[in-house]
Structure 1
Amino acid sequence: MSHVSREARKSCLRRDARTSIRKGDEVDSFFKISARNSTVGNEVIGGLTTFLAMAYIIAVNPSLLQTAGIPFDAALTATCVGAAVMTIAMGLVANRPIALASGMGINAIVAYTLCLGETAVDWRVAMAIIFLEGIVILILVLCGLRKAVMDAIPASLRHAIGIGIGLFIAFIGLKGGGIIVSDESTMLALGDLTSPTAIVSLIAILVAVALQVMNVKGALLISIVAATIAGIPLGVTALPSEWSFGLDFSTFAAPFQTVPGTDTMALVQVFLQPALLLFVFSLLMSDFFDTMGTVVAVGEQANFVDKDGNVEDIQPILTVDSVAAAAGGFFGASSITSFVESTSGAAAGARTGLSCVVVGVLFFVFAFFSPVIAMVTSAATCGALVVVGYLMLSDVVNVDWSKIEFAFPAFITILGIPMTYSITNGIGFGFISYCVIKIVQGKPGEVKPLMWVAALAFLVMFIVG
């Protein structure tokens, strides 16, 4: 009997092993992991790195939206669930390592301009504006306009967008880490390098660079974890004091909720106040071109951008991102958009949508454990962001610096993105300057029609503000 039992157990183990291999092959085939020279381990590490680099949104977005009148727990649920659903969708549909969550900047517009500014609309109406903007962008994508605009951009300008975002990411890391601070006389200055926050940031940079030099897998992820641990005795990393286990779905379907004190649906209120449609246009411009820059930047790191700056299989990426914008308004989480921090995961080895599935699952999990994520400070992620900035700057050799019509727009784009703290503004400067130079050269016919349309739209946006 004992011999039979042993044989039976061995047979079961062999069958389980074969089943596991088949499942592994299916995952590899679906996500094209081997075809893109990656491994499941690389995708998991890349996903973890991306998640930790962007996890600040779990704490920041609900706090911002709370000022707009949205209950904190509801905003937290909307933020995590929205990010999880749309990031997993990006992984399954587009199969690229681009994670999505509520966009910084747009959430501030929702809180401080739409809900607390001169417009002073109910937060449900603000979400209806976000929802409507997402629908418009989706229509533009399905019509092929968004891809056509990207195709109309000169190659040097496409590379410049990625380079500018690299500097922007490094700047965000240094600023968040207290190494660069604001100054009344010089605008920017070196921070106090002996402060606990700066010390943690320097540790993060040192670990990230050292491990990168040693070609250690997961170098950026390790740097974030190491800096977070180092921040505990220094008082930078705050240990969780309480836990939250509940979910609040009260913001879901916000555009279709009735505005308190009225009998009208929030979405209808947007059309009853035509001035609000201007916000649809301005938010559309921001979403449209921020995503364009982010996709190019991540593509450069994950090797799905060719030497001319063309992004492979861009249509599904743009489609998911456009749906995400509308979904953000529907969930009540502000506009959900592609996160430039995804470059950190790509730099850590992510090449497929499997990393997005990892990120999405983590967002679901940490909807219940947000205090753990609150431990990861901007100082802890400083090293990862600085290294990613360095890696993205290598693309500068692909800009044609010998011709001013390409070189100056590239320069002004690279300069404009970090200096104005806006990807959209930097791209706008590059587009407009390119068109102006072509007019001065007497070669306006060399500018593709959609570049003229985009440059004009940027000009209107800058004038109207």
Structure 2
Amino acid sequence: MTQQSVEPRTTADDAGEGTRVPAGRSWLDRYFHISHRGSTVAREVRGGVTTFMAMAYILLLNPLILSGKDVAGATLGQQALITATAFAAALTTLLMGFVGKVPLALAAGLSVSGVLASQVAPEMTWPQAMGMCVMYGVVIMLLVVTGLREMIMNAIPLALKHAITMGIGLFIALIGFYKSGFVHQGEATPVTLGPAGELAGWPVLLFAGTLLLIFMLQARNIPGAILIGIVGGTVVAAVLNAAGVVDPKQWAAGAPELHGSAVSMPDFSLFGDVEFGGWGEVGAMTVGMIVFTLVLAGFFDAMATIIGVGTEAKLADDKGRMPGLSKALFVDGAGGAIGGVSGGSGQTVFIESATGVGEGARTGLASVVTGLFFAACLFFTPLTAIVPQEVASAALVVIGAMMLMNARHVDWADRATAIPVFLTVVLMPFTYTITTGVAAGVISYVAIKTAQGKWREIGAFMWVLTAVFLVYFALNPIESWLGVH
């Protein structure tokens, strides 16, 4: 009896991918299309672990950014924030793996957290701020479902998209320098080096050393440079503290010590602590601008990141189309609502997903692995909490530097591009609000294009944005004119 060869067959789970795949595959292979995308289970697991290692720093940085007081003087507990950050990252990343089936991991967006800490919390309570996260997540999901998300992306000039990313990066870097104690509010000047024009104390020097270490590791293309730098800085901090070299009072958020066991049950006290309404003192216009700013903060990087990582994984074609794109965009939007309900800020796709792709990840199985690692971190919050604020702040500066690299895409010789980009980038940190930078960039772009006689190139959406931002800048005079207080 002659042996018959088995012909490849197309299975139902590959519908829409236009491929013929071999028979006899496991359910795991069939569900995630592992063989079809030229990968193996081992590669997916390795890629998922690598992605987690590259972005685990978010468990430290997000609680650091959200550590401030709200309008009522209340703060969010560190243990609860770590739990919320890990839980939201785990849930959204698992959803991306099982639903989107692409190697993309999500966690708290530093740009979104920056808006919550600098613009939202000073105006309202933390539960109301998390309600804003839910609202912006719902808005993004509606934009995806209606197809408007891509239309809006295409309407905003590419240079302004890069400028928004760069401005947020500079803003995040400023937060890092300030949280570390490297930069202080001055007396004779707005800001100064250290508390009196000079660096003081071992913790600040440790920040500087950690920052240099991470930059050196990145220059050597060492995978997981940020995480390695944070671990190294924490070890040095613990040694210095144990040796009595550092006065415990010098540490901004407490000495790097482990109190009790490294394992504990998660603290879900922030879960579901969300409020909608009670914004009478803030005003409808301010609420609208906050939601709009959160949408901007979580909007622009996500699609570019998804397409960029998808292209690196050879999943996207030359037009940016890739399997599961609409589902991936929807999960990314849902991350805003999930993060708000969890109390850990809006979630968005992380560019660090590319590190897992570099290790061979091609499917959603890698995201499932990353999500499971985040879930495991729920039980190790005491271990995460020993990282000094000064060490974690170094990573914020590094992330800011990475976001500023978008400057290479800007045509600085074109005034219609350079001036709006400049205003967008510098006004975010100088005014400590992301909205002001975006508004100045949009208005100046429209004004300069109009002055050049190129008003037809602007587009209807940009004109609408300009009108909205003009009202935003003139809100106080308008309210005074109308007698509204």
TM normalised by structure 2 equals 0.70
Contact 2:230–2:392 (CA<8 Å) still a contact in 1? yes
Relative to structure 1, the CA distance from residue 26 to residue 81 in structure 2 (aligned partners, 3 Å threshold; closer, same or farther) is: same
Counterpart in the other structure of 1:100: 108
Residues 1:375 and 1:245: Cα distance change in structure 2 (over 3 Å): closer
Code of the aligned partner of 1:245: S
Is contact 1:181-1:190 (8 Å) kept?
Answer: yes
Who is 1:239 aligned against? 257
1:167–1:389: 8 Å Cα contact kept in structure 2?
yes
Corresponding position of 2:5 = none
Percent of residue pairs bearing the same amino acid type:
30
Q: CA deviation at 1:217?
A: 2.9
* RMSD of aligned alpha carbons: 4.3
SS at match of 1:397: helix
Q: Counterparts in 2 of 1:41-190, with a 5 A limit?
A: 41=46, 43-58=48-63, 61=66, 68=74, 77-92=83-98, 93=100, 95-100=103-108, 103-106=113-116, 112-115=122-125, 123=127, 128=131, 130-190=133-193
* 1:292 corresponding residue in structure 2: 299
CA contact (8 A) 2:106 2:347 kept: no
- Contact map agreement 1:157 1:410 (CA 8 A) in 2: yes
Question: Post-superposition shift, 1:209?
Answer: 2.8
> Within the alignment, does 1:338 sit opposite 2:348 as a pair?
yes
Q: Which moved more, 1:220-229 or 1:292-301?
A: 292-301
Match of 1:15 in 2: none
Determine if contact 2:137/2:346 at 8 Å carries over to the other structure: no
* Structure 1 counterpart of 2:104, one-letter code: R
What is the deviation of 1:290? 0.4
Give how far 1:370 is off.
Answer: 1.7
| 1:103 alignment partner, SS class | helix
2:63–2:78: 8 Å Cα contact kept in structure 1?
no
Does the Cα contact within 8 Å between 2:271 and 2:341 map onto a contact in 1?
A: yes
Q: Is 1:404 paired with 2:415?
A: yes
| Alignment correspondent of 1:16 | none
Task: Report how far residue 230 of structure 1 moved.
Answer: 0.9
- Residues 144-172 of structure 1: CA deviation (Å, up to 9, x unaligned): 22322211122222233333344334434
Distance 1:366 1:186 in 2: 43
Q: Deviations over 1:36-84 (max 9, x none)?
A: xx97545523322312244343476588589659888776654542332
Q: In 2, Cα distance between the equivalents of 1:403 and 1:103?
A: 33
- Residue aligning to 2:15: none
Q: Equivalent residue of 1:113, what SS?
A: coil
Q: Deviations over 1:216-256 (max 9, x none)?
A: 3333321111111111133355122145734565665556x
Q: What does the per-residue CA deviation read over 1:403-456, in whole Å, with 9 as the maximum and x for residues that have no partner?
A: 211121122222233333444432222112111112222222111212222333
> Structure 1: which 5+ runs fail to align?
1-18, 117-122, 256-265
CA contact (8 A) 1:168 1:417 kept: yes
- In the TM superposition, 1:324-363 aligns within 5 A as 324-331=335-342, 333=343, 335-338=345-348, 342-343=350-351, 345=352, 357=368, 360-363=371-374
Query: Given residue 100 of structure 1, which amino acid in structure 2 is its aligned partner?
Result: A
State how far apart, in whole Å, the 2-side matches of 1:300 and 1:170 are.
26
Given the superposition, is the C-alpha separation of residues 222 and 142 from structure 1 closer, same or farther in structure 2, using an over 3 Å criterion? Answer: same
Alignment correspondent of 1:6: none
- Does the 8 Å CA contact 2:172/2:400 hold for their aligned counterparts? yes
* 1:175 to 1:24, Cα distance in 2 relative to 1, 3 A: farther
- Cα displacement string for residues 247-271 of structure 1 (whole angstroms, at most 9, x for unaligned residues): 565665556xxxxxxxxxx65x669
Three-state SS of the structure 2 residue aligned to 1:189 is: strand
Post-superposition offset of 1:140 = 2.8
Q: Determine which of 221, 226, 242 is the counterpart of 2:227.
A: 221
What letter is aligned with 1:96?
L
Of 401-410 and 54-63, the range deviating more from structure 2: 54-63
CA–CA separation in structure 1 for the residues paired with 2:175 and 2:282: 33
Distance 1:454 1:229, change over 3 A: same
Q: Which residue of 1 aligns with 2:218?
A: 212
Tell me the secondary structure at the aligned position of residue 289 of structure 1: helix
Residue of structure 1 equivalent to 2:19: none
CA distance in 2, matches of 1:439, 1:327: 41
In the alignment, the residues of structure 2 paired with residue 150 and residue 301 of structure 1 have an alpha-carbon distance, to the nearest angstrom, of 15
Instruction: For 1:126 and 1:107, locate their aligned partners in 2 and report how far apart those are by CA, in whole Å.
Output: 9
What is the deviation of 1:181? Answer: 2.9
CA 1:325–1:240 in 2, change beyond 3 Å: closer, same or farther?
A: same
Amino acid at match of 1:456: A
- SS, match of residue 347 in structure 2: strand
Q: Does the alignment pair 1:367 with 2:400?
A: no
**Alpha-carbon offset, residue 33 of structure 1:** 8.7
1:27 Cα deviation from its structure 2 partner: 6.7
Q: In the TM superposition, what whole-angstrom CA distance separates every residue of 1:379-403 from its partner, at most 9, and x where no partner exists?
A: 3245544444444444323212222
Shift of 1:31: 11
Secondary structure of the equivalent of 2:259? Answer: coil
| Cα offset, 1:367, TM superposition | 2.8
**Secondary structure of the corresponding residue to residue 338 of structure 1:** strand
Q: Which residue does 1:202 correspond to in 2?
A: 208
Distance 1:114 1:99 in 2: 24
Contact 1:324 1:336 in 2 (8 A): yes
> Aligned-pair distance for 1:347?
7.8
| Distance across 1 between alignment mates of 2:57 and 2:36 | 22
176 and 34 in structure 1: CA distance in 2 versus 1, 3 angstrom threshold = farther
- Residue 363 of structure 1: how far off its partner (Å): 3.8
C-alpha distance after superposition, 1:5-56 (max 9, x if no partner): xxxxxxxxxxxxxx99996998783896969xx9754552332231224434
User: Taking structure 1 as reference, are residues 229 and 23 closer, same or farther at Cα in structure 2, changes over 3 Å only?
Assistant: farther
SS at match of 1:184: coil
Considering fraction of residues, name the structure with more helix: 1
Change in 2 beyond 3 A, CA 1:115/1:207: closer
List alignment gaps of at least 5 residues for structure 2. Answer: 1-23, 242-250, 313-318, 477-485
Change (3 A) 1:59 1:358: farther
